[in-house]
A and B are shown apart, each in its own frame.
Chain A
Amino acid sequence: MADLVSHPDEVRVVSRRFGQGAASLERYLELDGYKAVQKALAMEPDAIINEVKNSALRGRGGAGFSTGMKWSFVPKQSAKPKYVLCNGDESEPGTCKDRLIFEHDPHAVIEGVIIAGLAVGATSGYIYIRGEYRYLSVIMQKAIRDAYAKGFLGKNIFGSGRDFEVYWHGGAGAYEVGEESALMESLEGKRGIPRIRPPFPAVVGLWGGPTVINNAETLASVPHIILGGADWYAKLGPPKNGGTRLFCLSGNLAKPGVYELPMGYSLKKMIYEVGGGIPDGRELKAVVPGGSSTPCLTSDEIDINMDFDSVAKAGSMLGSGGVVVVDDAQCIVKFALRTMKFYQHESCGWCIPCREGTDWLKKTLQRFHAGGGLKKDIDNMYYLSENMLGRTFCPLGDAAAMPTMGFIKKFRQEFEDHLDGRPCPYQKEGAIEQLPVMA
């Protein structure tokens, strides 16, 4: 449904089958589908884990943790059943990549789930898809049914003598559920409140059993690694940042879209070449490099490579691959407000600093943007963010605090321009005065 784009710099791995009808099992098989899982069935679990480790595949959900390492934490022996859980609760603002995978290549996810299961000794997996993606749930449910019908799932998969079950599970609207322990709570039919860690999900996860939780893109990458080999995959990107990545280019760009580019691709080129640059003769003001929770980069800071380590060095995060480009017609205070409004709305409310901090920040930003700001508000907002950072129950508090601190640090002048009752300098002629406030 969503339009596909292309660019010559793209290296198509995960998106190889996009636009080719691979949601149908027959077509998927023609395009090398379910070959990797058959190869993995002949491998020792440790060999699979090592292959993934060596591929330098890092979690595509946002944290960028080594996938192979994560798998290796799952105990070999367990009294309780082990599980694989695919995180398809894609909700980070700026991110729309898993959507394309589910739409165009659902079997790759299923295949990735089975391989992860073989690696850690699980015999069932769940694919959790956010509630808003209903049409993708329909596609995924059909893909699962088709795979069962062919004997790729269920008892004795591929005649290997081994069993593997895959189930679909749907959400119902909650960003917080993208956090892995909250995801498990949600799957267990509860409110999506994160769990106390340790124990980590790899040891005590779904229904108390050891659980591997990976993002959909991560799991969809796995079959390609098994087939193409760890070396090939690792070398697609810089050291320790294996492979390619689906970058979701959005915002003020001429050619927004989801592009698969090698890890370490230049951000500058991403904006000006792949994304077609800033339209309407506007200039770049800022770019959010990895979804709304990552601190923005200014136009002076875009000369970096888009891999986990380089972006971290630049003081931000590669995150979920959502690159949101902001032109100079946009008001940063308003952008910060909209970002905070999101976190305030999505905070699960469990812990004080996130629940109260996001509400306070949203209120202050709202007043500030409406022209009622005081100079001390700027420091106060920074103080609040600073005191949320690292002290919340789960990373959502950090996700709200970090970008706010970035906006204030990098665009302080723009905040000060709102002071003394001046109207927002970026207010468009005849703009809407008051947006409805979400309850």
Chain B
Amino acid sequence: MADLTLTVDGKKIAAPAGTLLIEACKNVGIEVPSFCYYPNLSLQGACRMCLVKVEKMPKLQTACTTVVGEGMVVTSDSDEIRQARKSMVEMLLGNHPLDCPVCDAGGECELQDMTFSYGAAESKFMEAKNHKDEQQWSPVVFFDRPRCILCYRCVRVCGEAMDVWALGVQNRGVSSVIAPNKQDHLECEECGMCIDICPVGALTSGAYRYKTRPWEMKHVGTICTHCGDGCKTTLGVRRSDTGMEIVRGDNRDKSGTNSDFLCIKGRYGFDFANHEYRLTQPLIRKDGKLSPATWEEAFELIGKKFAEVRDRDGGQAIGVIGSTRTTNEESYLLSKFARLVLKTNNVDHHSTADFPAFAAALRDKPEATASMADVFAAPAILLIGNDPTEQHPLLAYQIRNNVRLHRSRLYVVNSRPIKLRRQATVFAQVSEDNGEAAFVDFLSKNNPAPEPLGMSGTTTGVLEKLRETLRSVKDLLVVFGSEIQGISVTSLIAALPQAKFICLADYANSRGAADMGLYPDLLPGYHAIAGRSPLHEEWGVPDTAGLPTSEMFTAAKENKLKALYVVGSNPIGRLNLNPFGFSKAFLVVQDMFLTETAAIADVVLPAANAYEKTGTFTNTCGDLQLVKKAGDVSGTKADFEVIVRIADAMGFDIKKLIPFGGGMHADMGQSRGAQSGEADRHAVWLEMHGLEPKLSPLDPMAILDEIQRLVPGYDVSRMNLLAGNSEHTRLDKTGAAVPQQPGPILPANDTLFTSGTLGRYSRALNSVIEAHEIKPAEVAAD
């Protein structure tokens, strides 16, 4: 549609028909203040802050409810308008407590800002303020009624955006109050969106309240370490006795694909970092007991033992199990370390999705993967299996709001009545006995729907019509869970040649672990061990495929596997293995906590978590994002450094492992003084072009260079990546090899409130689980 022209403050501006005046103004840099207006939520017209003068209208008009018109003449700032805004603030402050010095929002409060911009310096109000006591609605949500300015953002975000509808408005007039769904408490998804969206300190977080003043924090926008969706979370950090403590998680940095969204884990699930059981010094088993040791002692011992086994029994006597929560750089480095230094292909990780099959099916299909951003835009979505509301909260949010805001059509095929059926155009409930895979089989053929496939009112007619629709719908996005593996993945992709696909994996860097080749028979980029690739040439790889986790266990029992290096993984706990099976092998475990696996190790190394390091994560869609160091707990080390130090202790030439020391000659400049800015800008430019000096072998950016060069699909814009954007990696040029004996794919089965080991050590998550009386999974996974 052609743009309309209108005049705002004497300036001619253009905006598409249907644009709200407040948005049209914002787009040209004219700020119209508001409390209740919030993009993508329903209009309220309640706060009256956005009043502007529209010519030919007798009264001031609310810019948030006025649609632009051709030739409209608008004044956004005048004495009358400023007076109107000033009086709104005055009236609001009438009953608003002035407890700003202790209010969590003090210093980052929209009412404070508005008062500063428009409010009066004098106070006319002399009456007693209405008061109500503060209430705790859930372990993480507190409500301070007098501070509420009734903008209804919380009510709308909870209902419209989250489809939870746990908040309402009760009473009327000045007694109006936001109310939770269970009278005195909330029963909800505990996402905390209501808290983040609150313009004042009415809704506060149980995890953060009264902890610090906002200006005492530094804010770091990084990627959430919980599920595989890759939300950006802004961590507020503060100096503590042991380094930098994370005191808050929120999404004030709305630059991620999650924009306004964060779930409970992204918002509150950072406190495992400071759990009392966190390991902060290496442990070495002496006389059967794990005893504190120095890092140097640990490296020396590991280096000696690993080299000894390799040189005596060969690389095949050593196993490596990687992590789904370490960075790409760490996984890549681990993969490389195993092959080059340990000379073994016994490499594996906990797979929660069949990415090798996925990559193989997408070979030479350049446009067939979708990013998380696409989920919000696709005109039609097919969701097979999984329960995104629980397991992929952002994905669920994107789908839900795509349906709400863009009227996207959603087709859900699931064996359970998952919550997203509420947004579905068609919900086909299928048999619990591998119904999702059976549906894919049915979809890929032309036979009538088999009788036992449809459940709970899903007739064969419904299924056949759905098949017909799916085949004809354009721009279809297909999202599938771990119910679809192996041949089903191939069939699905072949059945819908017009579609784009997302394969759901469960952990923050599950996709990265797969892409970086933590497989016994695949290298980074899904290149077969037995095949050829530039990687083979650069690395020099042992010839025969290695063992998957389960076989490493058998080999250890048979005393064929003599050393095992476990990085950020808990196979004993996850696979419920007999811990004595590893008793003969030299076991090194790197983790944050003394997991079931760490407890039986010979050496335990205290690892930093993803919030304490730099690198990149690839989310389940293949979107590559930068992970930035926010917190810091002294005594721990990033897995990256630990791997490098072990290689060094084994006497390996580090330059062959890490391509550091390259790049241009760097002007390190001054960090202070008149010229400092100049030098900083120079450094930023270098970094953006992948030319950073990389002076240290501990700089993960050096490995990122190699990943970008050698892993197909990762040759994305470094500039965009470093600017904090997500870059979609493609799977059409990978090695496309699939494992000959694929290991099991075990979904994490985390709920909205659990997150494997991280969740076990998160007080915030546990308090919510207790409040909801939900039993966490019997065996916590990684």
Contacts and interface: CB of A to CB of B under 8 A. Distances in A.
Direct contact between the two chains A and B in their complex (CB within 8 A) = yes
Interface of A: 174, 176, 191, 196, 344-353, 355-360, 363-364, 367, 374, 376-377, 380, 383-384, 387, 390-393, 439
Interface in B138-161: 149-150
Contacts of A351: 45-48
Interface in B70-120: 83-84, 87-88, 90-92, 94-95
B80 to A, nearest CB: 10
B60 A358 contact: no
A391 B174 CA distance: 17
Nearest to A374: B126
Interface in B319-350: none
Nearest to A364: B127
25 contacts: A191-B169, A196-B44, A196-B65, A347-B172, A347-B173, A349-B173, A349-B175, A351-B46, A351-B48, A352-B88, A352-B92, A352-B150, A353-B87, A356-B92, A358-B173, A359-B95, A359-B173, A360-B125, A364-B127, A383-B87, A387-B91, A390-B59, A392-B48, A393-B46, A393-B48
A352 B128 contact: no
Contacts of B174: 344, 347, 349, 355-356, 358-359
A349 B91 contact: no
B294 interface: no
Interface in B15-46: 43-46
B173 A348 contact: yes
B743 to A, nearest CB: 55
B655 interface: no
Interface of B: 43-48, 51, 58-60, 65, 83-84, 87-88, 90-92, 94-95, 124-128, 130, 149-150, 169, 171-176
Contacts of A367: 126-127
Contacts of B130: 359
Contacts of B127: 360, 363-364, 367
B123 to A, nearest CB: 11
A387 B176 contact: no
Contacts of A380: 124
B88 A353 contact: yes
Q: Is the interface of A mostly helix, strand, loop or mixed?
A: helix
A390 B83 CA distance: 13
Given A174-B172, A349-B171, A355 B150 contact: yes
A174 B87 CA distance: 27
A376 B122 CA distance: 13
Given A174-B172, A355-B174, 5 more contacts: A347-B174, A353-B88, A353-B91, A360-B125, A383-B124
B48 to A, nearest CB: 6
Contacts of B149: 352
A240 B60 CA distance: 29
A391 B59 contact: yes
A347 B126 CA distance: 21
Contacts of B91: 352-353, 356-357, 360, 384, 387
Contacts of A174: 172
A364 B150 CA distance: 23
What are the nearest 8 A-B pairs in CB distance?
Answer: A349-B176, A387-B87, A363-B127, A356-B91, A359-B174, A347-B173, A349-B173, A390-B59
A364 B46 CA distance: 24
A384 B94 CA distance: 11
A387 B45 contact: no
Contact of A387 (B84, B95, B171, B173): B84
Contacts of B60: 390-391
A52 B265 CA distance: 64
> Could you tell me the dominant secondary structure of chain B's interface residues?
loop
A270 B128 CA distance: 43
A338 to B, nearest CB: 16
A348 B150 CA distance: 12
B172 A191 contact: yes
B81 to A, nearest CB: 10
A352 B47 contact: yes
Nearest to B152: A350
B744 to A, nearest CB: 52
Nearest to B66: A198
Contacts of B172: 174, 176, 191, 346-349
A349 B150 contact: yes
B76 to A, nearest CB: 16
A350 B46 contact: yes
B83 A387 contact: yes
B43 A196 contact: yes
A154 B84 CA distance: 51
A384 B91 CA distance: 8
B92 A344 contact: no
A356 B94 contact: yes
A324 B65 CA distance: 38
B176 A355 contact: yes
Given A359-B95, A390-B60, A353 B173 contact: no
Contacts of B46: 350-352, 393
B94 A359 contact: yes
Contacts of A393: 45-46, 48
Contacts of B176: 348-350, 355
Nearest to A349: B176
Nearest to A192: B172
B85 to A, nearest CB: 10
A352 B48 contact: yes
A178 to B, nearest CB: 14
B18 to A, nearest CB: 13
Contacts of A344: 173-174
Nearest to B51: A391
Contacts of B43: 196
A363 B83 contact: no
Contacts of B58: 390
Max chain B C-beta neighbours (<10 A), residue from A349, A351, A352, A363: A352
Nearest to A393: B45
A83 B129 CA distance: 44
A376 B48 CA distance: 26
A233 B43 CA distance: 43
A383 B94 CA distance: 14
A281 B48 CA distance: 48
Nearest to A195: B45
A346 B173 contact: yes
Contacts of A348: 172-173, 176
With most chain A CB atoms within 10 A of its CB, the pick from B43, B44, B59, B127 is: B127
A363 B58 CA distance: 31
A206 B687 CA distance: 60
A380 B48 CA distance: 20
A391 B48 contact: yes
A207 B119 CA distance: 40
A351 B126 CA distance: 22
B92 A345 contact: no
A374 B126 CA distance: 10
A345 B173 contact: yes
A44 to B, nearest CB: 34
A329 to B, nearest CB: 29
Contacts of B92: 352, 356
Nearest to A357: B91
Contacts of B173: 344-349, 355, 358-359
Nearest to A392: B48
- Residue from A191, A360, A364, A374 having most chain B Cβ neighbours under 10 A: A360
A288 B59 CA distance: 25
A294 B587 CA distance: 87
A237 to B, nearest CB: 26
Contacts of A391: 48, 51, 59-60, 84, 87-88
Nearest to B84: A391
Nearest to A367: B127
B501 to A, nearest CB: 38
A356 B83 CA distance: 16
B169 A360 contact: no
Contacts of B94: 356, 359-360
Contacts of A360: 91, 94, 125, 127
A384 B90 CA distance: 9
